[in-house]
Chains A and B, each alone.
Chain A
Amino acid sequence: MEDPRLFCTFRVDGGLFGVDILDVREVTTETTYTRIAHAPDEVLGLVNIRGHIFLVLDLRRLLGMPESTVTGNSRLVLFKPSVGSAFGVVVDEIADIQTVEPDRIEAYSRNERDIVVTNVRHVDLIDAVCKLNDELIVVLNPRRFLPVIEQHLTARA
């Protein structure tokens, strides 16, 4: 019997999303960043966390949702080095850490899906979905975030 998985969940544009807790380095309130000219729109900029520089991405734009401004509830979720080097995403609101049994987690493949996630445009960022207390948690694969950015940069050139 597999162990249950823990997800760090958060809200983006009203929807509930999550990433595997093992991928998360920390969640911080730091939201002032330095803009990078010529970077794709999904890149908000660079931020200084205790002497280290991290790249900040806008999860809304990554997922293809309409943009909005940073509010007091916005949080920066930083990922561990194994996910990608020195980066994190800004989310609208942080939610709870959820424990989910593996049988409730459905891998999300492009072709066959029972549950259709409507609010996300770039569906290859979705790893799985799981139902929890009437709400759907869309589990994302953060390892695909940076490649998307790099692709945009290459495409432009």
Chain B
Amino acid sequence: MSSYVNDRLHDFIVDAREHLNTVEASLLSLESHPGPAEHTACVDRCFRAVHSIKGDAGFLGLTPIHTLAHAMETLLEKMRELAPQQSLEVLLGARDRIAVLVDDLPNSLQADVSDCLKRLQTAIEYRGAGNVALEINLAELTRLYPAGLTSFFRKFVREGTILDRQLDIGNCQLRDGLPSGKLRWMVLLESSRSRIELISRLGLSGEPSETRTAKLDIELSAQPGGLLNLFQRLDAAAAIESGRLTIPETNLRLSLPLGPVVWSGECVTDLKPQELLSRCGVTVRNSIAPVKQGQPGDFDSPALGTVSSQLSAESVVDETNRNRGAVSSENEKPNTLRIQIELLDRLMTLVGELTLVRNQSLIAFAEQDGPQRAIIQRLNSVTSELQDATLRARMQPVGNLFNKFPRMIRDLARQLGKQVEIDLQGREVELDKTILEQLSDPLTHLIRNSVDHGIELPEDRRSKGKSGTGCITLTATHEDGQVRIEIHDDGRGIDSEAVRQRAISLRLKTEAELERMTPRELFGLILLPGFSTAKKVTEVSGRGVGMDVVKTNIEQLEGTLTIDSVVGHGCSMVLRLPLTLAIIPCLIVRVNGDRFAVPQRELEEVVCLHPSGSGRIEQAYDTEVYRLRERLLPIVRFKDVIDRTTPFTAEAKAEILTSHPRTGAPPRITYILVLKLAGRRFGLVVDEVHGTEEVVVKPMHPSMKRVGIFTGATIMGDGRVALIADVEGIVEHARLSFESVLEANRKITSRDAAQQQRVLLFEYGPHEQFALPLLQIRRIEMISRDRVERVGEHEYVTVDGVSTRILRLDKVIDASAPAESDDLTGQMSLILPKFVPQPMGILVSRIVDTESLCIELQEHPEQNQSILGSAVVRSRLTLFLDMHRLTQTLFGSEVAPNSAPADPKRPKRLLLVEDTAFFREIVKRYLTAEGHEVSTAVHGEDGLSKLEAGSEFDLIVSDIEMPVMDGWDFAREARLRGISTPMLALTSLSGTHYEAKAKDCGFDGFEVKLDHDRLVRKVAQLLASLEHSI
């Protein structure tokens, strides 16, 4: 055959298939007894489609098809009035036959279609009863039969058998009277007469009554008979929906309106405008025909086993129009094009290769500057767009797949004697073409299952209180980068007990295992091979080979299937599939020299740990952790995951912990990928990070699918294969537990909170950074140099009207001095401390910041006493100053400490209980300077143990806010245990009620941190009272 003929035949096949779809959909619609207008439209549509097939087949010499189509046409002609069920059956059968012939054109020429033709012929000659759907306007009827409707109905029942009926009343309150709007009686009659005959015999008007919305403008002043009369008549004829009064501009206090007063309104009525005019004397401005006609013929007819589908014929035509080029009867300009799939595949492959070339050029030209860069950037962006566009070209609406289900369900339901409806949602959701094709089998199987095993027989359903017709809802939605398809039926559901029994009898699971399973996991057992709880194997399903095949099919698509069910109410099966054969952005990393791709979807950030930086990987409980902005992140080292082939056991975890350094700086630069999965974050340690790339995901080799830590592979720019990490798989493999970390997080934050100190960081000279606790600072004052006055050796500045002595740090300790500048207007700051004997301020060149820290000070005994110690804060060595000492040094021996002289006889032993290292250090110093012996404890419990250890103390000084055991409990407990040593509370809490509480708990004194002089005085006082009491 010549290629011309081949093409023509090919075109015929494609066209014929679409026409056949239209025919099927129209016939199914006819079966559900639409209203008269819809009925005619369906028949017309069907006719046109069959006519096209006939024409094309005749032209190409495909005689059997031509003959069949011709016979179908003849039958359809007869069905414009009456559509007996048998005719529909025959037509559907003929349509199927044509479909078979079209699928196998070469053999169709010899096909014998005489049996089909005979059936069609019989149907054409049939003079028997058919079903007529009538819509009778009762309002009209009452006019025709003023004596009453009984005589009408007597005539009516003689015309045939009433199969179903429905009364349609408009929206109204029956309490207010009989409805004034539409009042229709819809009936399904089985009769041998055609509709036209019936209508004329019954004397009806034959025109379908339409409920209209009529807009009225009534000039009220011009109404004879009075307004009340008018509105009463109007009310009887129509249901008034809204009304508005338009009055010309008038001062109503003075007079009634002089101009026309118009009432504009909308009312719903069955009457035509002329009738309204004759009955009420009102002119209709605008009469709007019904926008939406309900389906008056939607009868739930038990005897017929119909399928009422929400997939109306119109929408099918819309969709077929969307997908095809030439449209038969409509005047639309085609905006779609039909192309060969092979061409599209070739396009995709070429785009894929172009992407690789683009990647290579990016690498090759990365170093270069100049015009090449711009060109490469352009190449990059164009290629990306091309990629996106071609991917989209392969996407098809899922409705294409869904469309075949109504027919399938209808046939299946009839075969099993059930009634089933199907509801399709989300038909426009798009999926890649290949995925769609592969989805067809599993979906079909699941739906067949639902009809066969799920939906019960009508009697059973009704005995349970459900409606006789079962409903299957098929929904497609986008969710989370995936497509979600749900098949829901309201049938008998899955009996979990039966599943359990079956699992045990098949020895699939033990009782104990079954106990531990969630309902979902239990239902998931159905998907195992050989599992079928159907009592009877039907032709349709039940052999137990179905579900596991479904599962495999879906898994091959990288999808998942979950089953939910409530026994007695129904079952819901949810498929989740990836959107496309993906190209996903990934971060390329190196571990042990090998390259891996980590999908960006789960990647939140990347942290770099430098050997000289402050970031550390620490250990907590059984995992390594990293502190990321005050939260602990569990850490997994990718190397460990790769090295260990089995999921981590507790021993493995312990081994891993010991193999890595507990603390200390990382030996070399390490990268932590912060990954987020289902709301939980964790860190993945890798050796190198290379950059992001768009990666074409090739599914993992089927034999390697069990390797959970990889989700696929890809070909890199240099042609080598790299594996794509599966974040979820890694978490599972490492048996990452987030609970212990959460717990640790809580403890750490509470511990830190207790120990944290707020300090002020500042600079004086160019070299050092200093810190002072905020607790000791009253205020910071900005001063300009020119305010400083010199008196002899000392400098003063007036602050708040008080002459304040200035302390220069370089004069007191070994610190650098700020550069002398001639700029006398330069600004400096002055720290004004609390608790000083005379007004003074510490000169500061720059305030850095305040910081909350828990400080471990490194002491420098060789340094000046004024330096408490040093620590690294914000990567700088920071000197912590002793305010008291500074003050002392400044004022020298001018001010003598006014405390009682220390008792030279025997140094007193003091116990200092304080959790904050900083304060512990300071207070210890203060007290030791007074000549006392100071022992320390870090919290209440520690303090108690020291007391229990037997050491005798002369005085206890205790903080209040401490972890483990606070000061209140400590004091109470100590007193309970009979310890009578005087106790002094030293705390930042202040207020009379705290003082009272301290007394209640057993404290003898209460001091606020941290006034050196007061503290020393109080201590001396308490010690003295002790002596006196002895």
Q: Which residue of B lies closest to A153 (CB)?
A: B706
Instruction: Collect the chain B residues with CB atoms within 8 Å of residue A43's CB.
Output: 704
Query: Can you list, as one digit per residue, whether each of B684-710 has a CB less than 8 Å from chain A (1) or not (0)?
Result: 000000000000001001111011111
Instruction: Collect the chain B residues with CB atoms within 8 Å of residue A32's CB.
Output: 720
In the docked arrangement, what's the CA distance between A91 and B615, Å? 49
| Max chain A Cβ within 10 angstroms of own Cβ: one of B594, B701, B702 | B701
CB pair A34–B721 under 8 Å, yes or no, is yes
Q: Does B353 contact A (CB under 8 A)?
A: yes
CB pair A37–B703 under 8 Å, yes or no, is no
Say yes or no: A86-B701 contact (C-beta < 8 A), given A33-B721, A156-B646.
Answer: yes
Query: Can you list, as one digit per residue, whether each of B641-663 has a CB less than 8 Å from chain A (1) or not (0)?
Result: 11001100000000000000000
CB pair B723–A36 under 8 Å, yes or no, is yes
CB pair B353–A51 under 8 Å, yes or no, is yes
For chain B residues 358-394, which have a beta carbon within 8 Å of chain A?
A: none
CB pair B352–A51 under 8 Å, yes or no, is yes
For chain A residues 120-157, which have a beta carbon within 8 Å of chain B?
A: 146, 149-150, 153-154, 156-157
Instruction: Collect the chain A residues with CB atoms within 8 Å of residue B646's CB.
Output: 156
For chain A residues 37-93, which have a beta carbon within 8 Å of chain B?
A: 37-39, 43, 45-48, 51, 53, 55, 84-87
Q: Does B719 contact A (CB under 8 A)?
A: yes
CB pair B706–A46 under 8 Å, yes or no, is no
CB pair B710–A36 under 8 Å, yes or no, is yes
Q: Does A25 contact B (CB under 8 A)?
A: no
Q: Does B900 contact A (CB under 8 A)?
A: no
Instruction: Collect the chain A residues with CB atoms within 8 Å of residue B702's CB.
Output: 85
CB pair B594–A36 under 8 Å, yes or no, is no
CB pair A37–B701 under 8 Å, yes or no, is no
- Min Cβ gap B610→A in Å is 28
For chain B residues 701-751, which have a beta carbon within 8 Å of chain A?
A: 701-704, 706-710, 713, 715, 719-723
CB pair A53–B713 under 8 Å, yes or no, is yes
Q: Which of under 10, 10 to 19, 20 to 34, or 35 or more describes the interface residues of A?
A: 20 to 34
B701: which of A33, A48, A85, A157 is its contact (CB, 8 Å)? Answer: A85
In the docked arrangement, what's the CA distance between A87 and B701, Å? 9
Q: Does A104 contact B (CB under 8 A)?
A: no
A-side binding surface: helix, strand, loop or mixed? mixed
For chain A residues 10-48, which have a beta carbon within 8 Å of chain B?
A: 32-39, 43, 45-48
For chain B residues 586-645, which have a beta carbon within 8 Å of chain A?
A: 594-595, 641-642, 645
Say yes or no: A146-B703 contact (C-beta < 8 A), given A48-B720, A53-B713, A53-B721.
Answer: yes
B645: which of A38, A55, A85, A150 is its contact (CB, 8 Å)? Answer: A38
Say yes or no: A36-B704 contact (C-beta < 8 A), given A46-B721, A48-B715, A156-B646.
Answer: yes
CB pair B704–A39 under 8 Å, yes or no, is yes
Instruction: Collect the chain A residues with CB atoms within 8 Å of residue B707's CB.
Output: 36-39, 153
CB pair B709–A34 under 8 Å, yes or no, is no
In the docked arrangement, what's the CA distance between A85 and B556, Å? 13
Instruction: Collect the chain B residues with CB atoms within 8 Å of residue A55's CB.
Output: 701, 703-704
- Min Cβ gap A109→B in Å is 26
- Min Cβ gap B346→A in Å is 13
Q: Which of under 10, 10 to 19, 20 to 34, or 35 or more describes the interface residues of B?
A: 20 to 34
Instruction: Collect the chain A residues with CB atoms within 8 Å of residue B701's CB.
Output: 46, 53, 55, 85-87
In the docked arrangement, what's the CA distance between A33 and B594, Å? 11
- Min Cβ gap B387→A in Å is 15
Instruction: Collect the chain A residues with CB atoms within 8 Å of residue B703's CB.
Output: 55, 84-85, 87, 146, 149-150, 153
Instruction: Collect the chain A residues with CB atoms within 8 Å of residue B713's CB.
Output: 34, 46, 53
Instruction: Collect the chain B residues with CB atoms within 8 Å of residue A36's CB.
Output: 704, 707, 710, 723
CB pair A53–B704 under 8 Å, yes or no, is no
In the docked arrangement, what's the CA distance between A48 and B715, Å? 7
- Min Cβ gap A113→B in Å is 29
| Max chain A Cβ within 10 angstroms of own Cβ: one of B353, B595, B704, B706 | B704
In the docked arrangement, what's the CA distance between A93 and B523, Å? 52
In the docked arrangement, what's the CA distance between A77 and B563, Å? 43
- Min Cβ gap A99→B in Å is 32
- Min Cβ gap B187→A in Å is 62
- Min Cβ gap A125→B in Å is 15
In the docked arrangement, what's the CA distance between A38 and B638, Å? 13
Query: Can you list, as one digit per residue, whether each of B316-345 has a CB less than 8 Å from chain A (1) or not (0)?
Result: 000000000000000000000000000000
Q: Which residue of B lies closest to A46 (CB)?
A: B721
Instruction: Collect the chain A residues with CB atoms within 8 Å of residue B723's CB.
Output: 34, 36-37, 46
Instruction: Collect the chain B residues with CB atoms within 8 Å of residue A85's CB.
Output: 701-703
- Min Cβ gap B360→A in Å is 14
- Min Cβ gap B692→A in Å is 20
Say yes or no: A34-B704 contact (C-beta < 8 A), given A46-B713, A156-B646.
Answer: no
CB pair B722–A34 under 8 Å, yes or no, is yes
- Min Cβ gap A143→B in Å is 12
In the docked arrangement, what's the CA distance between A46 and B698, Å? 12
CB pair A34–B719 under 8 Å, yes or no, is no
Instruction: Collect the chain B residues with CB atoms within 8 Å of residue A157's CB.
Output: 706
- Min Cβ gap A77→B in Å is 17
In the docked arrangement, what's the CA distance between A153 and B709, Å? 13
| Max chain A Cβ within 10 angstroms of own Cβ: one of B352, B706, B719, B721 | B721
- Min Cβ gap A110→B in Å is 24
Say yes or no: A51-B715 contact (C-beta < 8 A), given A37-B642, A38-B709.
Answer: yes
- Min Cβ gap A64→B in Å is 19
In the docked arrangement, what's the CA distance between A90 and B702, Å? 19
Instruction: Collect the chain B residues with CB atoms within 8 Å of residue A38's CB.
Output: 642, 645, 707-709
Instruction: Collect the chain A residues with CB atoms within 8 Å of residue B710's CB.
Output: 36-37
- Min Cβ gap B6→A in Å is 29
A48: which of B352, B353, B721 is its contact (CB, 8 Å)? Answer: B721
Instruction: Collect the chain B residues with CB atoms within 8 Å of residue A51's CB.
Output: 352-353, 715
- Min Cβ gap B952→A in Å is 65
CB pair B706–A34 under 8 Å, yes or no, is no
Please name the 9 residue pairs, one residue from A and one from B, whose CB atoms are nearest each other, closest first. A37-B642, A34-B721, A46-B721, A153-B706, A55-B701, A38-B707, A38-B645, A146-B703, A48-B715
Binding site for A on B (CB under 8 A): 352-353, 594-595, 641-642, 645-646, 698, 701-704, 706-710, 713, 715, 719-723
Q: Return 13 A-B CB contacts under 8 Å, by A number.
A: A32-B720, A34-B720, A36-B704, A38-B708, A39-B707, A46-B721, A48-B720, A51-B715, A84-B703, A85-B701, A85-B702, A85-B703, A87-B703
Given known contacts A45-B721, A51-B353, A55-B703, what 17 new A-B pairs fall within 8 Å (CB)?
Answer: A34-B713, A34-B721, A36-B704, A36-B707, A36-B723, A37-B642, A38-B708, A43-B704, A46-B701, A46-B713, A46-B723, A53-B715, A55-B701, A85-B701, A85-B703, A153-B704, A156-B645
